[in-house]
Structure 1
Amino acid sequence: MAPEGKTSAGRVVCRNRKAARDYFIEERLEAGLVLKGTEVKSLRDGRAELLDGYVAVEEGEAWLVNVHIGQWPQASYFNHEPRRRRKLLLQRRQINKLRAMLEQRGYTAIPLKIYFNDKNLAKVEIGLARGKRKADKRATIRDRDERRQQQRGEQ
């Protein structure tokens, strides 16, 4: 058994911080990832980036595209490609729902975070989102600033 604090179960590896700023996230899904051994080791070491990633549905399968998982430095010749397409493990009805949402105009599916669940399996949280316009972003910033001012006034 791992010593206290050494396990990665329940630990968030990386977040897509720009997602909440650039999109209205309407629904969230949890999906498993098909990974190679060196990718899992890199994730446990925190070597991942979600900023340019998105989810594509092709031929009845969901794929995580353009997500960077850094190479494992101790690996030899058999290291993985950092930006390769990774298959997502979803149920058929979830894939169909995802495809239907993506076919609507203005919707996209983006990865929100990668984490390890209680069973130490790598999972990705997917957000079904609609893009914000410039005015929407300004309104979000204004509302956030007003909430902060109210909280400061109450204290």
Structure 2
Amino acid sequence: MKEKGRSVIAQNRKARHEYTLLETFEAGVALVGTEVKSLRMGRASLVDAYATIDDGEIWLRALYIAEYSQGTWTNHEPRRTRKLLLHRAEIDKLVGKIREGGLTLVPLSLYFNDGKVKLEIALAKGKKSYDKRADLAKRDSDREIQKAYGRAAKGRVRELRG
């Protein structure tokens, strides 16, 4: 029976905090058999992973996929470099934007999509510390506003003091 839908294996939660995401892409990942079996058990981490462009191809580096426990001498290396599979037009677009400067490729999530392993990568620009603080302050103020609306909708209006 063929798998349907999308099931997330690993996410890079810090990426949205550390970077401003400009555009996202879905890429296939070239894997060996024991890597896929290990991923089905949910044993992967995107914490230190990043993508580079070498000779017109995109490579994923430092993605951790734990060795498969039932694997033999054919087991894979946990942090090997893996090729990302994208259309040529997408690769050319990414190469052009990264050469402009200040942009990087950040992996956001690794997941199964209809039985195939996919990686969501984003073209991103690093945030400065004051940008991060501003985002946190905005998120907190938005949360307070939502709480106030919720109280007003329930009839428990309490005057907001600014």
TM over 0.5: yes
Query: How far does the alpha carbon of each residue in 1:43-98 deviate from its partner, in whole angstroms, 9 at most, with x for none?
Result: 11111111111111111111111111111111111110011010111111111111
Percent of pairs with identical residues: 47
Structure with higher Rg: it is 2
SS at match of 2:6: coil
1:148 Cα offset (Å)? 0.6
Matched, 1:72 2:64: no
Q: What secondary structure, in the 3-state scheme, does the structure 1 residue paired with 2:76 have?
A: coil
Distance in 2 (alpha carbons) for counterparts of 1:69 and 1:99: 27
Q: Deviations over 1:119-148 (max 9, x none)?
A: x10000010000000000000000000011
TM-score, normalising length: structure 2: 0.89
Q: Identify which of 54, 63, 88 aligns with 2:59.
A: 63
The size of the alignment, in residue pairs, is: 150
Q: C-alpha root-mean-square deviation of aligned residues, in Å?
A: 1.3
TM-score normalised by length of structure 1: 0.93
Q: CA deviation at 1:9?
A: 4.3
Structure 1: gaps spanning 5 or more residues: none
